[in-house]
Structure 1
Amino acid sequence: MTRRKLSNRFIVTLTTGALAATGATLGDAVAAEGDLPPISPATLIDEITGAGATTDTAEVWDIGATDLGIMWDDGTGNVLTAFGDTFAVPGGSGAGTGNWRSNVLLRSSDTDLSDGMAFDWALTDESGQAVEIIGSQKVPGEEHTTIPTAGIEVDGRQYMAYMSVREWGPPGEWWTNFSQLAYSDDGGQTWSIEGAPRWENTEADDDPFQMLAYTRADGYVYMFGTPNGRLGAASVGRVAEDQMLDKEAYEYWDGTAWNSDYSAVQSIIDPAVAELSVRYVPETEQWHMVYLNTNADLVLRVGDSPTSWGDEQILATQAEYPGLYGGYIHPWSEPDELYFALSIWNGYNVALMHASLDDAGQVIRPNLLRDASFEMSDAINVEGGWTLQGAGGIDTNSAWAKVGFRQFWVRMNAGTQQVTQQVTLTPYTDYRLTGWFTTGDSAGGGAGEGFLGVRQSGPGGVVVAQETFGDLAEYTKFTVEFNSGAHTLVDVFAGSTMTADRWVQGDNINLVAISDPGTPPTEEPTEEPTEEPTQEPTEEPTQEPTDPPTEDLYITPGFHDVNGRRWMTVCEPYSQTDRCWTYIWATQIKQLDGHFHQVNGWAFNNLTYTPSPKSLWVGNPLATPGEFTGTDGRRWRTECNTPSTGGNGCRSYAEAQVIERVGNAYRVVTKMVFNNIVRFS
């Protein structure tokens, strides 16, 4: 049989997903045309291999480029991790060059994965360089390489399955000779296949157990399998824990029962399923399976048994992580989370990712930022994503990215340059914002201050929280944690001030909730007034007030019931006055994951600057008639001395994206909307 020989084993998208039409009931929002693709829920923790990883594996063990990262608990307080084809340096467009090893083995005792996964041991030779666990012929057409696919520990013995790859084919296809079990009795330092089972491939190259995943439950080791390549279905077998080396002791699911007849195997998940990783969670009695699906997205399924599985849930998409594959679960992940190893083909290294789960195993608290990896376009123009304010763009040199192909950059010798993204939050919820940055300049350093933060949307939006940084010689992670308070709409911003020629590059900016919504402030006053007013007004007002009598709710903190509606006002000091945000409990149309939904919640109504002397506002655009553009690119219009403001105030209208109804559908438009009012005393 003659096959085309290609080295790239990254799969291209096989099909284009289509949304099925469904009947709408009264009150359902109607989705507009051009729904946006889903946002990848999982977040980057850090790379675990390569020169930029938590442990610099390139410097320590000459592992500059590798993939996969199959992990298992070795039973002694460590996690063994087996990687695939390994090289000294990345190749730039997949795989690598120099010191090719078919596989390598690392060990980690790192118990705090929130800041990355460190390694403290590798299987090495006398020179200290990592060496192969299992050798290979390295002869295409006979045995090109040997790739680990699964690992598990039972009674102190380490077991590892690997596939003997005969030949690489077109993207997503390769052909194997067999799948082999190997074992080690000295913690992974030496390995043997003597007396261990082997699953030979068929003449049609469709044996269902060429690539494996192991997990333990109820005294059995469950062996999940797929054929070679990324186009097959998933099947499952099992064996008693103490009989793993006895091939005759294995049973296979035949669609209704466990059967020792190998030819009776029936699949448990239809194609395409690739590079499985499975865990059993005793605390919830759930089974979790991660794999690459038909669209080459990384997905999670949750099952109530090893043979019964729920629907796919996206963890990471090809759109936001081009060339992703792998997805191997860290065995020390808690029941309510998944830490997993994700490979990226072009950079050819492995990153540690994280996702949160609820009690039912459903993905919750997802990343909220679209195009968090800056991979969806060669320009900052992704719909619903980032906006550039100043001078900058997208770098397409993958060597400059933290992970993947692309990253954003800003550069100038003066002013503020930044990218921003508007995002909807849940009030009174804790959030974590993370991002990776590096800097450079032609001024010898100290040419500006970088920042990552969150501010209220709209002109003059106050900063809720931020971190700043100076000069950075390499990608550095920054974390901003904050509570949303009463805010439902904020801008995430990242960039730098510039005082001389300076540039900032940023990548992988993620925003996730880290708590359930809290309790709003109490609506009851904390205490009664201590005394009566000191005097009566000295005269009657000379004119009628310009606003209705309910104006007080706009500057009085707390909850209010006015005209049959529920209101909430939050105030804070601003220069020599106060400013107050007022929200109303209302039904709104919001765009979530590319669809329009009708939701109830607190909606922004008004921003009011409490009465203060007009002299304090001289030259301030919020109190000066005209049209303005801020240094960050935001546009607004201010009106003063009009019938709506009277002679004692100014109103500002900001350019913003709003949702409008057109017939039976909704659309997002950009227009000027009322934002705030300044009152003069």
Structure 2
Amino acid sequence: MMRRTKAKSTFSAAAAVLLIVMAAAGCTSGEKSNKVLDEGGKSFILKGITDLQQVSQITGADSPNKTDQYAVYGTDLGSMFNAGDKTYFVFGDTFGERAADQIGGGGSFWRSNTIGYTTDKDPSDGIKLDGMIADDTGLAAELLPSAKVDFDEMTKIPTYGLAANGAMYLYYMSVNHWGDPGKWDANYSSVAKSTDNGQNWQLLDQLKWPGGSNFIQVSPYKVQTDKDHAEIYFWCIPSGRFGGVQLMKVDESNIENFADYRYYAGKDADGAPIWSTKLEEAKTVVDDTVGELSVVWNSYLNRWLMTYLKEGEGVVIREGLAPWGPWGDPIDLVTASEQPGLYGPFMNERYTENDGKTIYFTLSLWDPYNVFWFKASLQK
């Protein structure tokens, strides 16, 4: 992400199969009883965070991956999604040449987005990238081209990816203009699709959310509701870092059909979630100033975990009893005093240790404008 200023396990087998279906009757809303969807009988148990540690650097010339070999000297974000045995790291504005003392986004050979990938299942010593999706010269390719014109389309930033229906999808935002710190304007958010392992991407223009909506930046998670059926939940925020979280979902099989997306609109008289076809009826599930959010199911707590940046304060973590909440109070994960210029805390269920007690996550630092690998332990 190019802005002028930002304040910014070993492989867990349990996490890999965490969405075990629990057979029971469906609720009036169509939800099925499933431990990741049922908030009944749960209470908040996350007490705090210990053992925060920067493990390694993922990108940049100073990283073990030496990504300058792909003309990735500076980049940010690093949200992750899994497809088969690979994990894909999705980066934002990427630069191939920069002054040694440069802070923040900028430089030459600008690409709006790039992707690295790995089969590394052991996060304890950092992430070893197997490579990056590259052009014919071996340099990291821009996957979703942008106009690069301010107040038109400054850039296209992928906010998260996922694998579904045998394909790969990138949800992205078209940025019109970078404004004051933590603020920017979006033209719209949309989706791109790849059927060749990320080498080429098709823009799905039938999927577009308005630039002024609460559905510009998303964090998706697939929930297997039965043997043959999965739903994808999306926690969503507006452009910038000062809005709250709303929730939408879609059946995996209908992911490319805009009319099939449903928006969480509160609960009915029986306490079951209501799903509306109208995005303007969506209710806020987390009321905070939320930037670059990430949501996963955690097998240690048997709760949802959400991480995000609170602009000017640092990165926080919250537990959720169901996708729509209730969500616990924010707990400091990494403070701005510990890591100045931090943002983009992204988790992945593939990377935990100790049955999910230890979580790993990416974190972007505005200086030196690269992506780092962190870990922390959850305390019940």
The reply to whether TM is greater than 0.5 is: yes
8 Å CA contact 2:127–2:373 kept in 1: the answer is yes
CA distance in 1, matches of 2:179, 2:240: 9
Closer, same or farther in 2 for the Cα pair 1:251/1:283, shift >3 Å? farther
**Residue correspondence of structure 1 range 443-462 to structure 2 within 5 A:** none
CA distance in 2, matches of 1:214, 1:102: 21
- Paired position in structure 1 for 2:94: 86
CA distance in 1, matches of 2:214, 2:209: 9
**Residue correspondence of structure 1 range 303-314 to structure 2 within 5 A:** 303-308=320-325, 309-314=327-332
Please report how far the alpha carbon of residue 106 of structure 1 lies from its aligned counterpart in structure 2 after TM superposition.
Answer: 0.9
Greater RCO, CA 8 A, separation 6+: 2
Cα deviation, 1:211-237, whole Å, max 9, x if unaligned, reads 111111132100111110011111111
CA distance in 2, matches of 1:120, 1:48: 12
Secondary structure, counterpart of 1:273 in structure 2: strand
- Paired position in structure 2 for 1:237: 248
**Residue correspondence of structure 1 range 186-205 to structure 2 within 5 A:** 186-194=196-204, 196-202=206-212
Query: Which residue identity does 1:236 align to in structure 2?
Result: L
Please report how far the alpha carbon of residue 156 of structure 1 lies from its aligned counterpart in structure 2 after TM superposition.
Answer: 2.0
Query: Which residue identity does 1:304 align to in structure 2?
Result: L
- Paired position in structure 2 for 1:350: 371
Structure 1 position 69 matched with structure 2 position 78: yes
CA distance in 2, matches of 1:281, 1:260: 29
Please report how far the alpha carbon of residue 9 of structure 1 lies from its aligned counterpart in structure 2 after TM superposition.
Answer: 4.5
Please report how far the alpha carbon of residue 294 of structure 1 lies from its aligned counterpart in structure 2 after TM superposition.
Answer: 4.7
CA distance in 1, matches of 2:149, 2:199: 26
Closer, same or farther in 2 for the Cα pair 1:158/1:282, shift >3 Å? farther
- Paired position in structure 2 for 1:326: 344
Cα deviation, 1:120-157, whole Å, max 9, x if unaligned, reads 12111111111111000000000000101011111321
Structure 1 position 339 matched with structure 2 position 360: yes
Structure 1 position 216 matched with structure 2 position 222: yes
Between structure 1 and structure 2, the one with the greater Rg is 1
Structure 1 position 262 matched with structure 2 position 283: no
8 Å CA contact 1:138–1:144 kept in 2: the answer is yes
Please report how far the alpha carbon of residue 41 of structure 1 lies from its aligned counterpart in structure 2 after TM superposition.
Answer: 4.9
8 Å CA contact 2:298–2:349 kept in 1: the answer is no
Secondary structure, counterpart of 1:275 in structure 2: strand
8 Å CA contact 1:238–1:252 kept in 2: the answer is yes
Runs ≥4 residues deviating over 4 A:
38-41
**Residue correspondence of structure 1 range 34-183 to structure 2 within 5 A:** 41-58=51-68, 60-74=69-83, 76-90=84-98, 92-183=102-193
CA distance in 1, matches of 2:171, 2:3: 22
CA distance in 2, matches of 1:282, 1:303: 13
CA distance in 2, matches of 1:140, 1:264: 32
Cα deviation, 1:152-192, whole Å, max 9, x if unaligned, reads 11132111101100000011111000001111111111111
Structure 1 position 246 matched with structure 2 position 254: no
Cα deviation, 1:3-24, whole Å, max 9, x if unaligned, reads xxx9414147xxxxxxxxxxxx
Please report how far the alpha carbon of residue 255 of structure 1 lies from its aligned counterpart in structure 2 after TM superposition.
Answer: 2.3
- Paired position in structure 2 for 1:522: none
CA distance in 2, matches of 1:39, 1:152: 28
Cα deviation, 1:339-390, whole Å, max 9, x if unaligned, reads 11100012100000001124xxx4xxxxxxxxxxxxxxxxxxxxxxxxxxxx
8 Å CA contact 1:271–1:294 kept in 2: the answer is no
Please report how far the alpha carbon of residue 96 of structure 1 lies from its aligned counterpart in structure 2 after TM superposition.
Answer: 3.1
From 320, 324, 335, give the equivalent of 1:317.
335
Query: Which residue identity does 1:229 align to in structure 2?
Result: G
Which stretches in structure 2 are left out of the alignment for 5+ residues?
A: 9-47, 268-273
Structure 1 position 299 matched with structure 2 position 316: yes
Structure 1 position 10 matched with structure 2 position 27: no
Please report how far the alpha carbon of residue 52 of structure 1 lies from its aligned counterpart in structure 2 after TM superposition.
Answer: 1.4
Query: Which residue identity does 1:277 align to in structure 2?
Result: S
Closer, same or farther in 2 for the Cα pair 1:245/1:306, shift >3 Å? same
Query: Which residue identity does 1:290 align to in structure 2?
Result: T
Identity of aligned residues (%): 34
Closer, same or farther in 2 for the Cα pair 1:97/1:288, shift >3 Å? same
Query: Which residue identity does 2:108 align to in structure 1?
Result: G
Closer, same or farther in 2 for the Cα pair 1:283/1:296, shift >3 Å? closer
**Residue correspondence of structure 1 range 529-678 to structure 2 within 5 A:** none
Please report how far the alpha carbon of residue 313 of structure 1 lies from its aligned counterpart in structure 2 after TM superposition.
Answer: 1.6
CA distance in 2, matches of 1:353, 1:172: 23
8 Å CA contact 1:143–1:167 kept in 2: the answer is yes
CA distance in 2, matches of 1:187, 1:142: 30
Secondary structure, counterpart of 2:149 in structure 1: coil
- Paired position in structure 2 for 1:275: 292
CA distance in 1, matches of 2:187, 2:253: 27
CA distance in 2, matches of 1:198, 1:122: 28
8 Å CA contact 1:212–1:225 kept in 2: the answer is yes
**Residue correspondence of structure 1 range 285-296 to structure 2 within 5 A:** 285-296=302-313
Give the TM-score, by structure 1 length.
0.46
Instruction: Count residues in correspondence.
Output: 323
8 Å CA contact 1:89–1:98 kept in 2: the answer is yes
RMSD between aligned alpha carbons?
1.9
Closer, same or farther in 2 for the Cα pair 1:284/1:11, shift >3 Å? closer
CA distance in 2, matches of 1:136, 1:213: 22
8 Å CA contact 2:177–2:186 kept in 1: the answer is yes
Closer, same or farther in 2 for the Cα pair 1:234/1:41, shift >3 Å? farther
Cα deviation, 1:320-339, whole Å, max 9, x if unaligned, reads 10000000113312322211
- Paired position in structure 1 for 2:26: none
Secondary structure, counterpart of 2:139 in structure 1: coil
Closer, same or farther in 2 for the Cα pair 1:90/1:345, shift >3 Å? farther
CA distance in 2, matches of 1:237, 1:262: 8
Query: Which residue identity does 1:184 align to in structure 2?
Result: S
**Residue correspondence of structure 1 range 393-432 to structure 2 within 5 A:** none
CA distance in 1, matches of 2:197, 2:55: 28
Secondary structure, counterpart of 1:248 in structure 2: helix
8 Å CA contact 1:134–1:146 kept in 2: the answer is yes
CA distance in 1, matches of 2:104, 2:257: 38
Query: Which residue identity does 1:190 align to in structure 2?
Result: N
- Paired position in structure 1 for 2:39: none
